[in-house]
Chain A
């Protein structure tokens, strides 16, 4: 490096930063003046307008808590046992109302997932009755499921689902963990780039399942057939009754003689497990993606260094 290059770059950077912040302050000042002007006349002139403005509450009423997920971050991996537990919760509880149409039984045996053995997957699939046909006589018939089949839906159509669930269709769970996420706001959404935060879905599902409250606070009216939940993204209450209770699911993992690997059978634990499972269902190749990412980025870093070195050589005798 030539003499003084570093200091020059530093001063340049400092200069641009000061310039940028000056510009930012200018704009902000403009905005706050604008905001003040906006607020000022509204209050004395039209008192009716005010409650209308403040009556628009921001949902969810409570932000979801950020959980520790084994699959978060560049080196994240699913916890296979957790996925198996989460699958159990899905199968025994959620599947009564929620379909998962895009996930075939065979996926349960994939690496980087619950990773059940081939026999286990076959046995699992066989527990379901799948409609097939028409046969030679033109009749539809039911047969035990095969690994290539997809999870059957609990309701024949949306109308039936809506009718059975107080007017709301339980959403399909295949990509649900990617279809939800509470807005992160400024500046958090910028920080998320560096922390690679992509767990908004599971955080939200966990918060929703653990967030039911018996009593709605004053001023919030909950219609019959609705359940108050300050973590719900779209309103103060939703049509899903609290689906989980303590000891609702007897974890298979807890049935063996070894007490060391027992997990608590609490709503919190069920929620974490099912949220992790749903993340996997939505993104079954996540582990492959992250490990490939590491290889690619490591390669590119080295390659970038080499190319930069060649570039320096090429430009060495050209002042620029």
Chain B
């Protein structure tokens, strides 16, 4: 939906810059004139929310790094120093720690939105793949960030996860020692994790730019899954999307503030307020909540190598999603069967997360295995199969038609309308 540029430099300085470097033009075309489908709902605002959280993480992180000491002898105390003696240090540190959780809450909603509306389908495969890469980068960044306070969970989480690489035949042990910079997690590990934790967010910024840039050719999806065809299907980004995103961002900031000010340690683990001790293993080693579904998959397989493969496969499979889904219909709004399986999948992932936090004993083990099996069945069997057996509902011919017909009858008459109505929020 990207037309030719409509940018008209209005002032002398704009003209001067535009004729040398079209940066104002790029900004104008991306965030002002850029056409967006008129029927987007609030689930489409999480991209904007994610950008906001990324900025918050980088700003708080840069200031924290001015006070933090990446040395295993003093790292724990330096974090406490930040909490106690740095002006508003508690605010920065809690904002950064809870910010990572907010990042994952937003990204999970963003991803489920993509799954529901078929945002990964042609011609947006590259966008989706860039998104999965962003997700992987986020996971690496968050994992290394959690090690920095050098508490018990930092240390033992790092030990468990880096140890996974030792499952690789032949070279595994060598790789693990290379990652540690020694024969166990220690000061060299902390140092390199800090370095990478500072580096990766900027790589995230880079991939985010590509992720957004790709919209210049593909445009956004929308709840009907029908591409915009005429001027009446779209509205300019500013003020329409800008204001809608602003509402969502402020509402999300409220949610964030609730945790930041009233529940700052709710999403963390108490054990991380105990200094790392290589001689004392905590009774239950659990990762941060946002890794729990993957941790559950890791533990579901009785063999170590198998678990590692399953865990990585559970993310790698996302890369292939655009080709696993054989349905021609983009939006779940017109896919009666997929819609049911979508929600089952959501519950499946939540349950995996729940069992990821439980000790692997008794019936939890089998439950986790079943849920893990279903996770892969969803992607590898249900997705391809639905394309053949599902009978999609009739789709509107255009966004405008969908929107207008919905407003005319008010109560929902045609199937297209009834199907479109769930997507109507705000």
Contacts and interface: CB of A to CB of B under 8 A. Distances in A.
Interface in B397-426: 403-404, 407, 410-412, 421-422, 424-426
Interface stretch (A26-34, A87-95, A218-226, A257-265): A26-34
B263 A15 contact: no
B6 interface: no
A311 B264 CA distance: 31
User: Chain B binding site: helix, strand, loop or mixed by DSSP?
Assistant: helix
Contact of A24 (B240, B347, B370): B347
A320 B257 contact: no
Contact of B366 (A35, A102, A307, A319): A35
A4 B362 CA distance: 50
B23 interface: no
Contact of B274 (A179, A186, A292): A179
A246 interface: no
Interface in A1-37: 2-4, 7-9, 12, 15-16, 19-20, 23-24, 26-27, 30-31, 34-35, 37
B138 to A, nearest CB: 23
B351 interface: yes
Contacts of B178: none
A318 B235 contact: yes
Interface stretch (B118-126, B189-197, B245-253, B386-394): B245-253
A187 B414 CA distance: 41
Contacts of A319: 38, 403-404, 407
Contacts of A252: none
B39 interface: yes
B265 A198 contact: yes
- What interface size band does chain B fall in? 35 or more
Contact of B271 (A7, A30, A56, A179): A179
A242 interface: no
Contacts of A193: 263, 266
10 contacts: A8-B421, A19-B340, A24-B347, A27-B348, A179-B270, A193-B263, A289-B90, A293-B261, A304-B251, A311-B243
Interface of A: 2-4, 7-9, 12, 15-16, 19-20, 23-24, 26-27, 30-31, 34-35, 37-39, 53, 56, 73-74, 102, 107, 171-172, 174-176, 178-181, 186, 192-193, 196, 198, 200-201, 234, 282, 284-285, 288-290, 292-294, 296-297, 300-301, 303-304, 307-308, 310-311, 314-315, 318-320
